[in-house]
Amino acid sequence: MQAAVIVFPASNCDRDVAVALTASLGRPPLMVWHQDNEMPKVDLMVLPGGFSYGDYLRCGAMAAHSPIMRAIKAQAAKGVPLLGICNGFQILTEAGLLPGVLMRNADLKFICKDVYLRVETDDSIFTRKYAKDSVVRFPIAHAEGNFFADPESLKRIEGEGQVAFRYATRDGELSARANPNGSLNNIAGVFNASRRILGLMPHPERLAEPLLGGDDGKAMFDGLMEALA
Please give the positions annotated as active site: 86, 203, 205
SS3 (DSSP) at 4 = strand
HEC states along 49-84?
A: CECHHHHCCCCCCCHHHCCHHHHHHHHHHCCCCEEE
User: pLDDT value at position 57?
Assistant: 87
Q: Which of 181, 111, 166, 89 is nearest to 135 (CA)?
A: 166
User: pLDDT value at position 224?
Assistant: 97
User: pLDDT value at position 229?
Assistant: 86
| pTM reported for the whole predicted model | 0.97
Asked if residues 39 and 83 have their Cβ atoms less than 8 Å apart, the reply is no
User: pLDDT value at position 125?
Assistant: 98
Q: Where are the domains of the chain?
A: 3-228
Please report, as a single letter, which amino acid is at residue 80. Answer: V
Per-residue pLDDT of the chain (229 residues; tens, 9 = 90+): 999 999 999 999 999 999 999 999 999 999 999 999 999 999 999 999 999 999 988 999 999 999 999 999 999 999 999 999 999 999 999 999 999 999 999 999 999 999 999 999 999 999 999 999 999 999 999 999 999 999 999 999 999 999 999 999 999 999 999 999 999 999 999 999 999 999 999 999 999 999 999 999 999 999 999 999 8
Asked if residues 184 and 163 have their Cβ atoms less than 8 Å apart, the reply is no
* CATH code for residues 3-228: 3.40.50.880
